[in-house]
Amino acid sequence: AQSVTQPDIHITVSEGASLELRCNYSYGATPYLFWYVQSPGQGLQLLLKYFSGDTLVQGIKGFEAEFKRSQSSFNLRKPSVHWSDAAEYFCAVGPRSNDYKLSFGAGTTVTVRA
Amino acid sequence: GAVVSQHPSRVICKSGTSVKIECRSLDFQATTMFWYRQFPKQSLMLMATSNEGSKATYEQGVEKDKFLINHASLTLSTLTVTSAHPEDSSFYICSARSPVFTGYVGDTQYFGPGTRLTVL
C-alpha cells in the first residue's frame, strides 16, 4: 500500500535561515509528487510538483524540491525563510494514471522565529 | 487563477442536526470534486470523489449515509453531514478538478479554504 511519511512533525527555524522538510514515500512505482502549504484556517496551495525530467524542481515562493529515486524521497528546501513561511506543509503523492486521488503525509508545522 | 469557495467557513450545530457544506468552483467548470476531512494537527483524509451527474465514490470506511454528497452541477458540490455527532467535528476541505488538462490531473486540483464544523 502506498504511504507518505513526513518524519518531522514540527520544525522551528530562524528568519533568514535555510529550511529543509523531509518527505519519503512508499509506492509501487514512481508516483507524481507534490508539496502543498496550508496557512492557519486556510485551504491548500500547491508549492511545486514533480512529474518527470529534471529531479530538482522549482516552485513558488522561493521553494525547491529534489526527487531522489534511490531514496524514495522528495525533500523541500528554501534557502532563506521569511516570517510568512510559517505554516503547515504537506507532501503528497498520486499515481501515474487517471486516478486523481492524492495521498497526503501527516504534515510538518514550520515555526519561524525572529 | 482558478478559485474554489466553500460555504460556510465555520458552523456550529447541535448533535442530531444535519449540516450542509457547499463547494463551488467560481471561474471554471469542475467535472470532479473531492471531499477531504482533516483532524487537528493531522493530514487530509480523502472521504469521497464527487462526479457531476453521478453518484459519489466513497473511500473505505466512510459512511455514505452519514456523509451525503451531491454534485448537481459543474460548479457546485455539496456535502451534508446527517445527524451530526461530536465525533463529526472536523475541518472539511473540498477540491475541484479543472477540465483543462495540463498533464496529470492532480496538477489541476484546486482547494477550497475549508469549513470548520463543530458539533456540540
Q: What is the mean pLDDT of residues B43-50?
A: 90
Chain B residues 52-111 within an 8 A CB cutoff of chain A: 93, 95, 97, 103-107, 109, 111
Contact between A35 and A47 under an 8 Å Cβ cutoff? The reply is yes
CA distance B36 to B46: 4
* A68-90 pLDDT per residue, tens: 999 999 999 999 999 999 999 99
Q: Is B103 left (phi over 0), alpha (psi -120 to 50) or beta?
A: left
Chain A residues 83-102 within an 8 A CB cutoff of chain B: 90, 92, 94, 96, 98, 100-102
Residue A66 has pLDDT above 70, yes or no: yes
What is the residue whose three cell numbers read 510559517?
Answer: A86
A107–B105: do the CB atoms touch at under 8 Å?
no
CA distance B60 to B32: 19
Which among A96, A98, A104 is the nearest to B44, CB-wise?
A104
Confidence bin at A21 (pLDDT 50/70/90): very high
**Radius of gyration in angstroms for the set of CA atoms belonging to chain B, rounded to a whole number:** 14
Q: Is B41 left (phi over 0), alpha (psi -120 to 50) or beta?
A: left
pLDDT for the residue numbered A97: 67
A109–B41: do the CB atoms touch at under 8 Å?
yes
Chain A hits for B6, CB-CB cut-off 8 Å, are 43
Confidence bin at B39 (pLDDT 50/70/90): confident
Determine contact: B40 vs chain A, CB below 8 A. no
